[in-house]
Amino acid sequence: MEVIIIIIRQLFIMFLYMAIGVALFRAKLITKEGSRTLAHLLLYCILPCVIVKSFCLERTPENTAALGASLLWALLLLLAAMLVSSVLFQKSPVDNFGASFSNAGFMGFPLITAVLGGNAVFYAAGFVALLNALQWTYGQWILTKDRKKVSFKVITTNPIVLSLLLGVILFLAKIPVPALLTSVMGTVANMNAPVAMIVLGVYLAQTDIRKLFTTGRLYAVSAVRLLLIPAVSLLLLRLSPKLPPEISTALLIAASAPVGSNVAVYAQKLEMDYTYAVQTVCLSTLLSVITMPAILALSQTLG
């Protein structure tokens, strides 16, 4: 029960951050271009700091085994989500993209930190890196059917993937990171939740609220993203009773997060239905207040 209370509290705090974004946009203190700049700050600076700092741990046999297990299971959960989404939303690219990829970095990391502690981000860092690599490749291919989007160069220039590689090297090679750098990365990493949710608030301010709650397709996407895929993820994780509960919980939180905000970023970039993409992010984020605690409660009940 304590875990559920922590999650509800954290989600409430995040929605207060989102309200700041709404207020700033409506007061014309931040623009669409400004929100895009903040999104770049998240992608190229804040999230890399979150990931690299999570690897600044002592290399022990237990931590090494945890890294391998978390990467393997992260890939399995992501592939399962992509399969479910492609089957259900084959004719709707934006819905397919949105249901496939969760907001694991922006919402998952803060919740994992709140529930399991800062070091537990280590267990989900690979999930977020793989998710971003798949968004930049498979995700853009979903939206455009352009094979050039699925290339080695695109993957290796992804800042999240590069951050994961750097973190793994630091961890496996036992390279000491100066305390000053660790402190700076920690401070920047703490900006993750506020900045991410302010950006989503700017997106929400541009949305027709009436359509947000009266469009049936949005509820269908949210149901798949928030209920079906987490249920499948929970089932898969239970197939491995030897997986440490901390890793299982961290990955389940990442897999249960709402639609990732990148669906709106990519839709805008590729001149698709940007407004609808924003609505999938906003409605699923609102509904996640109910679904994420429910999924974790179910996980705890099942043991």
pLDDT by residue (tens digit) across 132-156?
878 878 888 898 877 766 667 767 7
pLDDT at site 148: 67
- The span from the CA of 268 to the CA of 287, in Å, is 24
The pTM of the full predicted model, rounded to 2 decimals, is 0.84
Q: Using CA atoms in the order 25, 29, 31, 36, what is the torsion angle rounded to 10 degrees?
A: -100
pLDDT of residue 149: 60
Confidence of residue 227 (pLDDT cuts 50, 70, 90): very high
Report the phi/psi class of residue 92: left, alpha or beta, with left for phi > 0 and alpha for psi in -120 to 50.
beta
d(CA 87, CA 203): 28
3-class DSSP assignment, residue 102: strand
Residue 3 pLDDT grade (very low, low, confident, very high; cuts 50, 70, 90): low
> Is 70 exceeded by the pLDDT of residue 60?
yes
- Residue found under tokens 């998710």: 131
The average pLDDT across 187-216 equals: 85
What are the tokens at 282?
């906003």
User: Do the beta carbons of residue 225 and residue 99 sit within 8 Å?
Assistant: yes
pLDDT, the chain, mean: 87
Q: Kindly tell me the sign of the dihedral angle through the C-alpha atoms of 115, 120, 123, 127.
A: positive
Instruction: Give per-residue pLDDT as tens, 169-198.
Output: 998 898 989 999 999 998 998 888 788 788
Most confident of 92-106, 110-124, 134-148: 92-106
Q: State the pLDDT at residue 254.
A: 95
